[in-house]
Amino acid sequence: MFSRIIPKQRKMSTRVGGFLILISETMFLFSILNFLMISRLQYYSSGDSYIRAVFPHYLFFLGAMGFVGLTAMFFIYTYILPSKQRFSQEQAVKDSRSPTYNKLLEVQEELSEMRMMMADLSEKVEKLSKEK
50-100: pLDDT as tens digits: 888 888 999 999 999 999 999 999 999 999 999 999 998 888 888 777 888
Average pLDDT, the chain: 89
Instruction: Give residue 59's pLDDT.
Output: 93
Between CA 8 and CA 6 the distance in angstroms is 7
For the entire predicted model, the pTM comes to 0.55
Count CA atoms closer than 13 A to 96's CA, side-chain side: 4
92-123 b/e (C-beta count within 10 Å ≥ 16 → b): eeeeeeeeeeeeeeeeeeeeeeeeeeeeeeee
Decide: 11 and 97 in contact? Cβ < 8 Å: yes
